[in-house]
C-alpha cells in the first residue's frame, strides 16, 4: 500500500541515504520503490487528523524561495483557527505580522509547503505536504471573512488555502513534553481540589485541638 507522504519525501537522494544507513528495505513497499501501482493511503485527512488539527493553536509552516532557501515560520492563533474545510483542504486567516511577507512571496513562485502540527503535552506530531494559495482580502473579502476569528485582536490580510497532498504521523520518541497554561490548569484542577480539601481538614483538626486544649485548661 503506497504511503503518499513517503512517496513525495523519498527523492533519489533520500533513497540513497536509506541504502547507506540500512533502512531502504524498511520503506521500499511504502514509498513506491517496489509497488508504484498499489492502493494509496495518507493522502486524505481522516477523523483522527481532523480532530487533531481542530485542537491546535499553532503550527510551523515551511516554504522555499526562488533561490532555494527554505523558510520556516510559526503561525499561531485561537484554538481551531487552522480549519479543515474538507478531507483535502485546510484554511486559515493570514493575520498581519511584521510585514516581511516571506511566505507570501515564496508561495507565489512555488506553492509547495510543509506543515508541522505539534501536541507537545501528549508527544504527538502531524506532518503535512500541501500546496498553498493566498487570497488577498482586497480581491475576495468574503472568503477572508469566513476564515477570520471573531473577537481575536488581529487583522486578517489574506485567506490561506492549503490543498493537502499527503500527511504522516511522526515518531514521538524525542518530543519533549511541554504544556500550555490551559493544559496545566486542566491537569492541576484535581490537585488544587485535593489541596483545598486538605486545607479544610487541617483547619477542622486545628479547631478540635483548640477546643480540647480549652477544655483541659478549664478542668
Residue 90 has pLDDT above 90, yes or no: yes
Q: Do residues 91 and 119 share a domain?
A: yes
Q: What is the pLDDT of residues 19-38, one digit of tens each?
A: 999 999 999 989 988 877 77
Cβ–Cβ < 8 Å for 31, 7: yes
pLDDT confidence bin for 39, thresholds 50/70/90: confident
Cell of 171: 515518531
Continuous H helices in 82-173: 102-109, 141-147
Place of cell 486567516: 93
Confidence of residue 219 (pLDDT cuts 50, 70, 90): low
What pTM does this model have?
Answer: 0.86
* Domain assignment of residue 174, yes or no: no
In this structure, the answer to whether residues 51 and 144 fall within a common structural domain is yes
Whether 132 and 194 share a structural domain? no
Regarding whether 150 and 49 lie in a shared domain, the answer is: yes
Whether residue 46 has pLDDT greater than 90:
yes
Residues 77 and 153 in one domain: yes
Q: Are residues 159 and 73 in the same domain?
A: yes
61 and 3 within one domain: no
Domain that holds residue 7: 1-42
Q: Is the pLDDT score of 196 beyond 90?
A: yes
Question: Which CATH number fits the domain that encloses residue 158?
Answer: 2.30.110.10
CA atoms within 13 A on the CB side of 207: 6
**pLDDT at residue 215 greater than cutoff 90:** no
* pLDDT value for 123: 94
The answer on 91 and 14 residing in a single domain is: no
C-beta separation of 2 from 28 below 8 A: no
Torsion angle, alpha carbons of 187, 188, 191, 196, to 10: -140
Per-residue pLDDT at 77:
93
pLDDT band at 182 (very low <50, low <70, confident <90, very high): confident
Number of H helices, E strands in the chain: 7, 9
Whether residues 70 and 146 share a domain: the answer is yes
In a domain, 135, yes or no: yes
> How far apart, in Å, are the Cα atoms of 91 and each of 3, 40, 132, 159?
24, 24, 9, 7
Q: Looking at the 3D structure of the chain, how many domains does it have? A: 3
Contact 91, 160 (CB under 8 A): yes
Residue tagged 492502493 (cell numbers): 39
**Are 74 and 110 part of one and the same domain?**
yes
| H or E segment to which residue 114 belongs | strand 112-119
Amino acid at each position: 500500500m503506497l504511503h503518499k507522504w513517503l512517496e513525495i519525501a523519498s527523492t533519489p537522494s533520500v533513497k540513497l541515504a536509506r541504502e547507506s544507513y540500512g533502512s531502504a528495505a524498511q520503506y521500499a513497499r511504502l514509498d513506491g520503490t517496489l509497488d508504484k501501482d498499489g492502493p494509496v493511503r495518507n493522502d486524505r485527512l481522516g477523523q483522527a487528523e481532523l480532530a487533531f488539527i481542530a485542537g491546535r493553536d499553532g503550527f510551523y509552516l515551511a516554504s522555499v524561495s526562488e533561490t532555494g532557501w527554505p523558510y520556516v515560520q510559526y503561525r499561531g492563533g485561537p484554538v481551531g483557527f487552522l480549519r479543515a474545510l474538507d478531507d483535502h483542504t485546510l484554511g486559515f486567516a493570514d493575520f498581519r505580522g511584521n510585514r516581511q511577507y516571506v511566505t507570501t512571496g515564496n508561495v507565489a513562485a512555488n506553492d509547495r509547503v510543509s506543515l508541522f502540527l505539534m501536541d507537545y503535552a501528549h508527544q504527538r506530531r502531524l506532518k503535512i505536504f500541501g500546496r498553498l494559495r493566498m487570497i488577498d482580502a482586497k480581491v475576495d473579502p468574503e472568503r477572508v471573512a469566513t476564515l477570520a476569528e471573531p473577537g481575536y485582536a488581529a487583522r486578517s490580510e489574506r485567506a490561506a488555502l492549503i490543498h493537502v497532498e499527503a500527511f504522516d504521523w511522526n515518531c514521538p520518541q524525542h518530543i519533549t513534553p511541554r504544556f500550555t497554561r490551559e493544559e496545566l490548569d486542566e491537569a492541576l484542577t484535581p490537585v488544587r481540589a485535593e489541596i483545598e480539601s486538605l486545607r479544610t481538614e487541617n483547619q477542622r483538626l486545628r479547631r478540635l485541638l483548640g477546643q480540647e486544649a480549652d477544655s483541659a485548661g478549664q478542668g
